[in-house]
Structure 1
């Protein structure tokens, strides 16, 4: 694999300096970070708010098998992953703003479609379409950050955005629980539609175009093939994309099985959102800490160390599960530690993968998002279907995924782990 970009693509207009905040004027830095976080949250809310409602939706639409109800989550994620393949290239050609606005319109429309779904099949179709639409804000937000910032400053911006964004996974299950307690499950999709409308209005009013005309690229078949080949053959970008996909798969497998594990296996019932909030809160805290440390320690040292820690915690959870001594307190404590480490891993792996791709940020963000999301959907579906009334399949998967991700990173870095680097 190549370590540098091909000459033809390197000749494109240069990427921004570490700090080029003028590109998102008139927004201040704080408003910019808040908007990026809120756009990221569209995706997290569409996943996590579903967790307490799976039983109600299954009962209402005639789905008796609990593992089959999990399809509500992978259906969304498959659409989300597939939609990212071309979104970035389109935004590299026509600009970030129009692509984002169109995606938000379809996000709202898909939420309304889900609210009126007469069958489980129709609901899955609606969720797939909503996932496709969510690809636009996912890809475009990363590209916008790359348009405006580079290097450690980019990693810091992403970490700050993720700190705000992580509030959504903390509160989303509680919101979903509240809706199904006092209203039909369709209320969840009406809330998603309202949130999408709010983001559409905000971005329409305040977000400028961040991609300068001279940095736009053609999207003909040849140009796309060249850009995709660069992404897949650039050692740093592809290696970190695969590692991030494995870790996203570990997280998604927890989301898919979390309600069955905590609400049913461990008997938490309606208290499941409380336990989930505590664990998701650990991810928010780690993102904040990462934003403070990344400038001093570097993305490589932080992400490699966090990956090693995740492997150790996952192995400890698996050992306790196999010994059948994993009670609720150590389960929540150790899973919180694991998710704390995951929160520190994601922003840094994303930044490392995108760093060589400034001249094709949209396409690179598309491929990165598609690879990681489709990997996560596949891994989550496999581990979800493997649920057998114990946590052994989940933590076996976590341990394997952590070791595999760390191995991929070691290959990508040619064995040089934990260095300061970028």
Structure 2
């Protein structure tokens, strides 16, 4: 499908349709080529750097708070500042990548991620740490925003949903083990600052791999001019198209509830349920369930379609959230009910996230960078603000989180109904 949102002469594009996997972009002088499997693994681990930067520090929040003199729920802002900044920063890399290519922008983001990780390790007080975390998230936004654009350069439709699901399988392995990694670093080195040194080292390793193997995927004829009017028009089209807006906001709301869990998980498990030493394992079980669902989604989405799978997952999510709310408010909840239900809802997110993102990106082949940036901005900022609110509302029980999960599911269903003009469970779509 050709995007017809530009005035003559303002965009550089092609008229021919594109089916299935796109022909590879013109090779750079290095002659780099990359297969589908390596591309999926690389994009997943690039996005996982973001998860590592968030989740590895979770087991160290108590130590960090004690060392820097932080009281109450304020320690959660170490996570919230990064999430919010990553959403705000997502506005920048997409349009630059549509003009200069994916590689230069990606490596700039990786460089900023590494630099600010090292600076976080040298933070002298809590305020400086929050400032550096904000700058780290802002600078590293490209490692979150660009992988969907790189994939969209090559494929579309339900095939993109399949590839994004496989990316999520690998990507979600990192949040599953990141708290254990952080706890291991803390035990060996004895200081939370070494966790940031570890994340910087991981960033260097990813940079070397991508530099050696990732070709430029943006076709030269698809490059967009750096003109404020064109950029604004591209992003406005992304945020005003009914389908893209509904699915982007829907995923933002429901993932905001997930961010609320990430923000409050360490306190919730350690304080409310008294299972602090088991926190890494509990977190791994929940994130692992999401990874299993993403792998399952990759096997079924091309057969049943992203809409059918994600809509079914969303209604099941609502049912599980209702059970969570019941146990949190009507009974004296224990870890034995909380963990299985939280794992079930995170598993269902595996059938929602990648599919929602693929549906929202479908109309934007020629402006995939700007579309990915705009959608990531809306998704991350909205989810980060919701998640920070849920985390800060933590009151020693799971009630704020359970309420947010249930209400988020209801709102998400309403947004999907808006996007689909009241029609759910649509058939598989053709790629373009």
- Shared fold (TM-score, shorter chain, > 0.5): yes
**C-alpha distance after superposition, 1:278-317 (max 9, x if no partner):** 1110000000000000010000001111111111111111
Give the conservation status (yes or no) of the 8 Å contact 1:51–1:173: yes
User: For residues 17-416 of structure 1, what are the structure 2 equivalents within 5 Å?
Assistant: 17-20=19-22, 22-23=24-25, 26-65=33-72, 67-183=73-189, 184-416=191-423
After TM superposition, the runs of 4+ consecutive aligned structure 1 residues lying more than 6 A away are none
Distance (Å, rounded) in 1 between the aligned partners of 2:12 and 2:310: 31
SS in 1 for 2:82: helix
- Structure 1 CA distance for aligned equivalents of residues 365 and 332 of structure 2: 49
Structure 1 residues 21 and 58, CA, compared in 2 at 3 Å: closer, same or farther?
farther
Residue matched to 1:13: 14
User: How far off its partner does 1:347 sit?
Assistant: 0.2
| Aligned-partner Cα distance in 2 for 1:42–1:379 | 22
Deviation, 1:397, is 0.9
How far, CA to CA, are the matches of 1:170 and 1:231 in structure 2?
Answer: 32
Instruction: State the alpha-carbon separation in 2 of the partners of residues 10 and 343 from structure 1.
Output: 36
RMSD: 1.6
Q: Is the 8 A contact 1:18 1:154 kept in 2?
A: no
* C-alpha distance in 1 between matches for 2:224 and 2:24: 22
Pick the structure with more helix per residue: 1
TM-score for the superposition, normalised by structure 2:
0.94
Q: Secondary structure at the match of 1:63?
A: coil
Counterpart pick for 1:418 among 425, 428, 431: 425
Structure 1 contact 21–149 (Cα < 8 Å) conserved? no
- Once residues 69 and 88 of structure 2 are traced to their aligned partners in structure 1, the CA distance between those partners, rounded to angstroms, is 28
CA apart distance, 1:263: 1.5
Cα distance, 1:20 vs structure 2: 2.5
Q: CA deviation at 1:421?
A: 3.7
Q: Which runs of 5+ in 1 are unaligned?
A: none
Q: Check the 8 A contact 1:21/1:29 in 2, yes or no.
A: no
**Contact 1:107–1:134 (8 Å) recurs in 2:** yes
Partner Cα distance (1:216, 1:10) in 2: 8
CA distance in 2, matches of 1:168, 1:11: 38
- Please give the alpha-carbon distance, in whole angstroms, between the structure 1 residues aligned to 2:159 and 2:146: 18
Report the Cα offset of residue 267 of structure 1: 0.8
Deviation at 1:11, TM superposition (A): 7.9
- Counterpart CA distance in 2 for 1:4 and 1:218 is 16
Between the aligned partners of 1:146 and 1:4, the Cα distance in structure 2 is: 14
Say how many residue pairs are matched: 419
CA shift in 2, pair 1:416/1:55, >3 Å: same
